[in-house]
Structure 1
Amino acid sequence: MSKNRIMQHLENGDLREHVLDTSTWMDYLDGSTKLSGIVMPGSHDAGMSQTDHCGAGAQLNRGIIQTQTLNIQQQLEAGSRYFDLRVDYDYGELVTYHRTGDAGGNGQSLAAVLDQSLKFIQSHQSETFILKFSHIRTNRNKERDIKDRIDEFLADIKYRAYLFTQSKSDVNLAKIALNDCRGKIILVFDYPEHISARAARFRYHDGFSRDSSGAELVGYGGPNITVCDSYSNTTSLEKMKHDQLKKLDAYGGLDKDYFFLLSWTLTPNIDTFFKGSVKELAEVANLALEEVLKERISEPHKPKPNIVYIDCLNAKTTQSIIQCNF
């Protein structure tokens, strides 16, 4: 369907599922829309579409660490616009990983992640997306070395023209208009080293925190991006659903000065290790998500999330997320 035809559907308020091309869905958003006014699909443990150099446990069941079935470029084409990247330096290269201590394994290399990101944004200039660098591997006491290697890697001139930058160090990305970052990759970091808005390095803050007395604080945590992200840590769909929707109703909503992330993921436990996989859990969660979002769209007074985190991201599930924008 042509863009003009789709825009007519939008104006008439009768857009239905499976209309938008998931690779270019941001093209149909008004350019003045702030990033915090958008509902976007997000990829949990985004680099783990492959499993390499698996350690204890994961050798017996790789399904407990493989969180995605599509690589980064395929996830972008399927509509994801927020990526959770956990990075290690292992076997002579920067890699994504999913581990607890030494148990787990590696995923796509960081070079593959960035090259696929670059290839996508070069051919989809209407889009933008966020790469969040977090969970630097800590059990080998090489965190600073890994962070320095990441910074050096990202300084490659081939990426420079496609990275979003800002002159003001205290910019709040929630307030950036879509037109100002179309065709750009936004890099955010869950650690303080090498942060510079001019050099496309933005600081991530957790929107759920506690003060010195232990009281819970929720909301804007500081420049440059704050995300309220708290997963449910359960294999129970009902427990996860209740927990996440309760948090969404309490703290979510578009056009705030922070982002709310709906963590629609089920977390493997010891039973899953022996007889299950993340993929099986994701199939249950993703199917339920489509129904939940249909209800949410039909109740405009209910707050919407900015980011919906899922495992095994696919175009069918992202369609239900993207529809929340229309």
Structure 2
Amino acid sequence: MSISTNLSIINFTPYDWTQIGTSNTAGLTEWTFPKSLASGQAYGAEIVVNKPAQAHAQWAFTWADDTNPVANLILAVSGSSYSIDAALDEYSTENNPKGSVVNIPLASEAWSPFILVGNESNLAGNDPPTDWMAQNLPYIGCLTLQDMVIPGSHDAGMSEINYPREGTAANSQTQTLNITGQLQAGIRYFDIRPTISHGQFYTGHYTDELGANGESIADIISDINRFTAKGNKELIILELSHTLDTDSGYQAFSDSQYSSLLSQFRTGTKNLYTGDGADVLTKLPLSDFISNSPAVVIVCDERNTSWLASNGFQNKGFYSSSQFPVYNNYADTTDLATMQKDQYTKLVAQTKTPDNAAQLFLLSWTFTQNVIDAVGLGGDTLRQSATYFNGFLAQVGGSVPYTGPITWVAQKSGLPNIILIDNVPTNNRFLTVMAIGLTRFYGTQC
């Protein structure tokens, strides 16, 4: 099967890259890789394979001398699967020793990133470590959350369907990976929407009274505890919103129900971050959270600081949205270009004149189903549409400014602090390596 795809080559090192050797292409009609790539630049390489059985191509580059490649990007074909094998010939990266080969999956009509960031002694790139925050703490620990890019998961608890009310995997399930899988993929911000169903706390995805429940809150707590127990000293942020009592009238939680929810988190969750209850967390450096241990922060959108204090939750790991302000305004569209333009325009406006000086900008790279798709008469499921959208997150170049965050940040349009996606990939931590690259290259040097 032939394929048309793209590789975004992103140079977040202080060195200019130069191609060495020849590409030796066969079985392709396009292999448009650059002769050179300056520090801070990105290049969209087009790859079109028309004869898979004969397909061969490579692109080796260096910044050291003309004979020894830093890395060699080699096209790999296995049946109907395509990827780039990045051979690290000269230097190691975090999680990948010198001489190893890092596999970068390719998808049809999509963009996959190849990224290197840092200098020769501390390179990071594709296939980052599971504890990527801790491993990069020497380089990003001094940065506040406003200076970082954090991978986020939309409707994070919806990796399964429980007790549905017209909700199906096609119209209600936004994720394939559970919270454990998302944590391992590098996600650190979780959009959690608690529900009550059959007397227990779950997560949910509802429109009015139609939808379904996902993972239980008990399972999410267990997932987080297992992850941190393995020595992963990471900052994990849960933002609680859209509470819904599906057992009684589909109303938002009462005070007593909300208190019971937070009590379950308080008694069950290990490593809750119990800093000063008056702190504005977005202004704190990352090192304040995770220098000595993991940190779990729970943001309560539906209760203010006064309520948290009067109900015994202040200084216990729970914070109001005024202590963790986020600009979060999604495009509400099925169209990729409309979403890109909408989020770009909002990023530019909020960077110039933020609604709140302490806020984080959340880039909602998400798809909203229309009625036809939601009732099962359309084509793609939520996760299929999300996979299509996600395939353009690493896009660079193009004739319009609103392609994606790599281009936006390079143009000084603004830095998205949280990039929120549906259907976190099962085989590709592309969002995490983008977050590391953007944070380390554009952040203040620690």
TM-score by length of 1: 0.84
* Runs of at least 5 residues in structure 2 that lack an aligned partner in the other structure: 1-91, 98-115, 396-403, 441-446
Correspondence for 1:318 among 422, 426, 432: 432
Q: Is the 8 A contact 2:93 2:124 kept in 1?
A: no
Larger relative contact order (C-alpha < 8 A, sep ≥ 6)? 1
> Residue in 2 aligned with 1:249?
348
Q: Which residue of 1 aligns with 2:258?
A: 147
Contact 2:334 2:370 in 1 (8 A): yes
Shift of the alpha carbon at 1:298? 4.1
Does 2:195 align with 1:88?
yes
**Deviation string for 1:87-108 (max 9, x for gaps)?**
0111121100111232110100
1: distance between equivalents of 2:405 and 2:284? 26
Greater Cα offset, 68-77 or 32-41: 32-41
Aligned to 1:208: none
Question: Over residues 140-182 of structure 1, what are the superposed CA-to-partner deviations in whole Å (9 max), with x where a residue is unaligned?
Answer: 34611431220221231x535x000123x33110111212211
Bigger share in helix: 1
1:101/1:146 Cα in 2 relative to 1: closer, same or farther (>3 Å)? Answer: farther
In the TM superposition, 1:31-70 aligns within 5 A as 31-56=141-166, 58=167, 61-70=168-177
Partner of 2:443: none
User: What is the aligned counterpart of 2:302 among 169, 191, 195?
Assistant: 191
- In 1, Cα distance between the equivalents of 2:127 and 2:367? 29
Correspondence for 1:286 among 368, 386, 390: 390
Are the aligned partners of 1:252 and 1:305 in contact in 2 as well (CA < 8 Å)? Answer: no
In structure 2, the partner of 1:122 is: 229
SS in 2 for 1:281: helix
2:164–2:213 Cα contact (<8 Å) kept? yes
Q: Does 1:226 align with 2:325?
A: yes
Report percent identity of matched pairs.
28
- Structure 1 Cα separation of the partners of residues 215 and 172 of structure 2: 13
Q: Work out the CA distance in 2 between the residues paired with 1:251 and 1:263.
A: 14
Give the number of aligned pairs: 300
Q: Is 2:287 the partner of 1:179?
A: yes
Answer yes or no: is 1:73 the counterpart of 2:174: no
The verdict on how the C-alpha distance between 1:243 and 1:97 changes in structure 2, with shifts beyond 3 A counting, is: same
What corresponds to 1:166 in structure 2?
275
Cα pair distance change 1:294/1:15, threshold 3 Å? farther
Does the 8 Å CA contact 1:151/1:194 hold for their aligned counterparts?
no
Displacement of 1:311 after TM fit? 0.2
Post-superposition offset of 1:308: 0.4
The structural deviation recorded for 1:119 is: 1.3
- Comparing 225-234 and 243-252, the one that deviates more: 243-252
One-letter amino acid of the counterpart of residue 153, structure 1: Q
CA distance in 1, matches of 2:142, 2:152: 22
* Separation (CA, whole Å) in 2 of partners of 1:174 and 1:101: 32
CA distance in 2, matches of 1:2, 1:317: 17
Greater strand proportion = 2
Q: TM-score, normalised by structure 2?
A: 0.62
Structure 1 counterpart SS, 2:193: strand
Are the aligned partners of 1:235 and 1:266 in contact in 2 as well (CA < 8 Å)?
yes
Report the AA paired with residue 187 of structure 1: I
Q: Which amino acid is 1:293 matched to?
A: P
